[in-house]
């Protein structure tokens, strides 16, 4: 696990400034104090308290369990939606596909017979 960038959470650091802007000086100071301990759990709890949320658990298994209990298909369906929409749009932007759609439309309207009738009527 990477160490906490303690100086960034202290007064004058960029993270401290963000917390100070969003949640006030008192919350930013409590987060800085928690960061100074080097304990991620204390830091996460201080951030959660500043945001007004319940304490965040750092366990991956607990996060997965919470996801499965609250919305088991949320993340997979969101990812699938993104993949399908990107794939479909990329497919339609391909010039070869556009040409194939034009040819298909031409033959769906009657093909050469339709073209001969249009040319003959002029």
Rounded to an integer, what distance in angstroms lies between the CA atom of residue 122 and that of residue 119? 6
pTM here? Answer: 0.43
Domain tally for the chain? 2
Q: Are residues 12 and 51 in the same domain?
A: yes
Given the structure tokens 């607990």, which residue do they identify?
62
Q: Is residue 66 part of a domain?
A: no
Q: Is residue 65 part of a domain?
A: no
Lowest-pLDDT range of 13-17, 27-31, 87-91 = 87-91
Q: Confidence class of residue 32 from pLDDT cuts 50, 70 and 90?
A: very high
Phi/psi-derived region of residue 56, left when phi > 0, alpha when psi is between -120 and 50, beta in every other case: beta
Q: Confidence class of residue 57 from pLDDT cuts 50, 70 and 90?
A: low
> Tokens at residue 75, please?
């993340």
Q: What pLDDT is stored for residue 114 in this prediction?
A: 77
Residue of 42, 45, 62, 67 whose CA lies nearest to 54: 45
Q: What pLDDT is stored for residue 56 in this prediction?
A: 54
Q: Are residues 50 and 85 in the same domain?
A: no
């Amino acid at each position: 696990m990477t160490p906490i960038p303690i100086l960034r959470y202290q007064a004058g650091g960029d993270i401290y400034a963000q917390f100070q802007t969003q949640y006030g000086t008192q919350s930013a100071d409590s987060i800085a104090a928690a960061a100074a301990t080097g304990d991620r759990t204390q830091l996460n709890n201080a951030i959660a308290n500043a945001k007004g949320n319940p304490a965040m658990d750092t366990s991956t298994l607990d996060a997965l369990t919470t996801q499965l209990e609250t919305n088991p298909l949320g993340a997979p369906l969101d990812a699938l939606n993104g993949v399908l929409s990107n794939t479909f749009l990329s497919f339609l932007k391909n010039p070869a596909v556009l040409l194939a759609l034009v040819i298909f439309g031409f033959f769906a309207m009657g093909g050469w017979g339709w073209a001969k009738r249009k040319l003959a009527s002029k």
